[in-house]
């Protein structure tokens, strides 16, 4: 270990432990964690992770689809599509990469490393898909599904919360329409601050009751934050709400 950083061999060992998979073909993991910027500075030294990323993207979509189909038998196709989108967007993939410690094993070009490439969501998301592609090639689809299942299972315990984060206004409206056959109303309570930095205060009203309010730098952002609060209020009431 030098300069407080974990050496790459140790990082790869830790990554395999986090994956729950030891590569029979270690070169696949090495390739999956090789950013194009590294290869640009080290010609004739293997391949970057773009081909594995391409494969991993397809594996991810199918694995997530199978898992959601089995885990949520009561959900309609449209809802399953929304959930899958939330679980496979770039930031979600970057979060999975962080859980697995992939940034410690990423090989980056010097410039990319200096500019924070190891923490960039796009680089982490690409690395995760590439690693998933590597797992698929090394151990098959069952191993890939098992990995995805472990990573997405926490989010599936609160699907409403997951979708609320993605599109809080849409989630709130869907909930109120389905449960109460009504839609919420957004009221601008006040606008303050200078023209170049306004602050919007918005309240969410449903059936004459104010459920939540929020303040933000744009009306849309304030509405989204207020919608998150309103949905939480309604979900907390649900176990004892006979409506």
Annotate the chain with three-state secondary structure. CECCECCHHHHHHHHHHHHCCCCCCHHHHHHHCECHHHHHHCCCCCCCCHHHHHHHHHHHHHHHHHHHHHHCCCCCHHHHHHHHHHHHCHHHHHHHHHHHCHHHHCECCHHHHHCCHHHCHHHHHHHHHHHHHHHHHHHCHHHHHHHHHHHHHHHHCCHHHHHHHHCHHHHHHHHHHHHHCCCCEEEEEEEECCCCCCEEEEEEEECCEEEEEEEECCHHHHHHHHHHHHHHHHHHHHHHCCC
Q: Look at residue 12 and tell me if it is in a domain.
A: yes
In this structure, the answer to whether residues 20 and 135 fall within a common structural domain is: yes
Render pLDDT for 91-124 as a digit per residue (tens, 0 to 9). 899 999 999 999 999 999 888 888 887 888 999 9
Q: Is the residue at 1 inside a domain?
A: no
**pLDDT, tens only, 71-96:** 999 899 988 998 999 999 998 999 99
Q: Token digits for 202?
A: 């918005």
8 A C-beta contact, residue 38 and residue 143? no
Kindly report, residue by residue over 165-174, the tens digit of the pLDDT: 778 888 899 8
Residue 3: inside a domain = no
Tell me whether residue 173 is in a domain: yes
26 part of a folded domain: yes
pLDDT digits (tens, 9 = 90+) for 184-196: 999 999 999 988 8
Task: Answer yes or no: 129 catalytic.
Answer: yes
Please identify, among 107, 125, 156, the residue that sits at the C-terminal boundary of a domain. 156
Does residue 66 carry a pLDDT above 60? yes
How confident is the model at residue 5, as a pLDDT?
A: 58
Write down the catalytic residue from 30, 31, 57, 126.
57
Cβ atoms within 10 Å, residue 48: 20
Do 143 and 234 lie in one domain? The reply is no
Contacts of 179 (CB under 8 A, 6+ apart): 234, 238, 243
Query: Taking CA 92 as the corner, what is the angle to CA 158 and CA 94, rounded to the nearest 5 degrees?
Result: 145
CATH code where residue 16 lies: 1.10.1520.10
Active-site residue, from 31, 129, 138, 174: 129
197 is catalytic: no
Non-local (6+) Cβ contacts of 35 within 8 A are: 48, 49, 106, 107, 108, 109, 112, 117, 123, 126, 127
Q: What percent of the chain has pLDDT over 90?
A: 63
Residues spanned by the domain of 37:
8-156
Q: What is the pLDDT of residue 189?
A: 96
Both 201 and 127 in one domain: the answer is no
Question: Largest alpha-carbon pair distance within the chain?
Answer: 68
- 170 CA to centre of own chain: 18
Q: Are residues 23 and 143 in the same domain?
A: yes
User: What average pLDDT score do residues 199-223 get?
Assistant: 93
- Lowest mean pLDDT segment, chosen from 150-164, 170-184, 206-220: 150-164
Whether residue 142 sits in one domain with residue 35: yes
User: Residue 144 domain-assigned?
Assistant: yes
């Amino acid at each position: 270990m030098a300069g407080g950083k974990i050496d790459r061999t140790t990082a790869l060992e830790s990554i395999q432990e986090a994956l729950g998979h030891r590569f029979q073909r270690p070169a696949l993991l090495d390739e999956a964690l090789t950013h194009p910027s590294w290869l640009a500075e080290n010609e004739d030294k293997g391949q970057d992770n773009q081909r594995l990323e391409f494969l991993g993207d397809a594996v991810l979509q199918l694995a997530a689809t199978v898992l959601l189909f089995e885990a949520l038998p009561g959900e309609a196709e449209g809802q399953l599509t929304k959930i899958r989108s939330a679980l496979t967007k770039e930031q979600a993939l970057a979060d999975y990469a962080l859980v697995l410690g992939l940034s410690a094993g990423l090989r980056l070009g010097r410039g990319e490393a200096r500019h924070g490439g190891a923490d960039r969501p796009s680089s982490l998301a690409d690395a995760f898909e590439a690693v998933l592609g590597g797992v698929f090639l090394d151990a098959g689809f069952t191993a890939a599904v098992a990995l995805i299942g472990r990573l997405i299972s926490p989010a599936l315990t609160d699907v409403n919360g997951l979708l609320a984060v993605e599109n809080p206004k849409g989630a709130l409206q869907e909930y109120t329409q389905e449960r109460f056959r009504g839609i919420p109303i957004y009221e601008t309570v006040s606008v303050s601050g200078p023209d170049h930095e306004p602050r919007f205060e918005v309240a969410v009203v449903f059936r004459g009751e104010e459920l939540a309010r929020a303040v933000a730098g744009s009306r849309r952002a304030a509405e989204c934050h207020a919608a998150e609060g309103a949905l939480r209020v309604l979900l907390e009431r649900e176990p004892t709400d006979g409506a």
